[in-house]
Amino acid sequence: MADGKACEVSNPCALRNGGCQHYCSLKAGLPVCSCREGYVLNKTNQASCVDHNECLQSKDHNCQQRCVNLEGSYRCDCYAGYEKNDLGQCIDINECAVDNGGCGAKAQCINTAGGSRCTCPVGYKLTQDRKSCAELKDNCKPFEAPRNAEVRCTRSRHKTQLFYRSKCFVTCKKGFKLHGPAVRHCNGTGEWDEGESICVPLACPKLNRPENGVILPVACTAGKIFANERCVLHCKPGFKPAAKRTAVCSLAQTWVPGDNLRCVPLDTPTVTPKPTATTTTTTTAPVAIKPYIQCPPDIHEVLPMGQYTMKVRMERPTTNVDWHKYVDSHPPWGKQLEVELPAGETIVTFRARSPTSNVNDVCRVVIKIRERKPPTVVHCPESFEVQLERNEPSRSVFWTEPKFESGTEIKQLYKSNTPGQPLPAGVHYINYIATDSDGLSANCNFRVVVKGPPAEVMEPRRPPHTGGPRPAEMNRLENHESYLI
């Protein structure tokens, strides 16, 4: 310095690299920081360096397919199905060169860009795994109608036989509901496509339990009575049926002649006018009338799908007084016997008043409307395989049965098979269908593949060598359609 006592720094970069992380250079006597290749200067402090992601913009890298950013650099990779050559270029891998690309014995492997596919020769078609070939057998066996169902099939190229692409339409008889596919197709393997069409019987609505009586059989009040089955009302001593004592479940799932099976007292009072003997005017004391009123059964309805309210109609209560003059209700709309209600519970109270006294009688109707929700499947087994041993034609196969839950009663549970049932070799489709009291269902389907016993390969006998060419001998394999030569 001018005073000759202090030192002056002539190159700021020489002291702690000018505060720079990588490079320091002088510009107009001041330190300026810069970074190595692959890094950029931190815009906040203009001194430290951060990694530059070259993969964000194509102009910053020369990768052909995939760019992978590294600290201060990057790496070029290839897509699946490609590999690098000596020049670092991505070229297609010929998957067909190894093990026929995973294709089956009858299949041909076709190499494609980044992959491969399997094709089958004429007379064969690819199976579901898209790897193996199955022989086309376009003549399916006659399709048998499921129980309680009718079948109508289209014909392909022949008036009586069912060939490839023939279709059979399944319809259930009246009083039954179809579960499963309504159309079955003859596929290219000479088999009908997967799935099972089942017709499940429909039940009539359950009857309300009567007071002072019982309806038999007990299934009548549980919603488990089907078409053409009968329910009979039995009243306690001192009571009689209000109308008919029997009801029959029709094919349309309605009760005939009706569902009004209830009991009323034998001495139900009635009011009849007394005839006058003469035209002479006489004064008589008014007859005291004890009113009574009998409400119809409680109403249980299910809200239709997609609706928030529904119209409910009630039967008029039975009474011995004038309905219009001496009967009132709470809520007041109850006397209209028709109302639009949402889901929930509503109580309608009817009161019958005596015309000649302060005596009255009361009855109530409970209207319950609930939302329609199908059952849910809590547990459904996975498909599994079973291997038969030699000389074992079938095996009892067990599984944990599915579990269903429902907001209402599970009215019916259909099982196509039961655990422990002997199953021979083949593919068995197990179906469970749970139906609730609303007629809504939930399905559980799984598959049991029972593999046949392993074939015992017999070594062919070798005849004595006679010096000439050995003739070809054929030994048929047990339980197999091929031969050893």
Residue 254 above 90 pLDDT? no
Condensed to tens digits (0 to 9), the pLDDT of residues 423-473 reads 998 999 999 998 887 778 889 999 999 988 877 655 555 555 555 554 444
CA–centroid distance for 78 within its chain: 41
Residue 112 above 60 pLDDT? yes
Long-range CB pairs of 19-24, under 8 A, 24+ apart, other chains included: 19/47, 20/47, 21/47, 21/48, 21/49, 22/49
391 and 442 housed in the same domain: yes
Condensed to tens digits (0 to 9), the pLDDT of residues 25-35 reads 988 888 999 99
161 and 197 housed in the same domain: yes
Percent of the chain with pLDDT over 90: 24
Residue 271 above 90 pLDDT? no
What would the two tokens of residue 111 be?
């190499």
Residue 8 above 60 pLDDT? yes
126 and 147 housed in the same domain: no
User: Over the chain, what is the mean pLDDT?
Assistant: 82
Domain span including residue 435: 376-451
- Per-residue pLDDT, 67: 92
- Per-residue pLDDT, 447: 92
Provide the CATH number for the domain around residue 394.
Answer: 2.60.40
pLDDT classification of 197: cutoffs 50, 70, 90: confident
Is the sign of the CA dihedral 280, 286, 290, 296 positive or negative?
Answer: positive
- Per-residue pLDDT, 141: 79
> Cα separation of 319 and 326, whole Å?
10
127 and 148 housed in the same domain: no
How many domains, the chain? 6
Residue type at 336? Q
Structural domain includes residue 421: yes
> Cα separation of 386 and 397, whole Å?
8
pLDDT classification of 6: cutoffs 50, 70, 90: low
What would the two tokens of residue 448 be?
């049991």
CB neighbours (10 Å) of residue 193? 12
Provide the CATH number for the domain around residue 185.
Answer: 2.10.70.10
172 and 143 housed in the same domain: yes
pTM greater than 0.85: no
126 and 143 housed in the same domain: no
Structural domain includes residue 128: yes
Structural domain includes residue 276: no
382 and 397 housed in the same domain: yes
CB neighbours (10 Å) of residue 31? 19
- Per-residue pLDDT, 393: 87
What would the two tokens of residue 207 be?
């009857």
Average confidence (pLDDT) over 286-302: 84
Structural domain includes residue 236: yes
pLDDT classification of 170: cutoffs 50, 70, 90: very high
- Per-residue pLDDT, 48: 92
- Per-residue pLDDT, 273: 45
What would the two tokens of residue 170 be?
């399944």
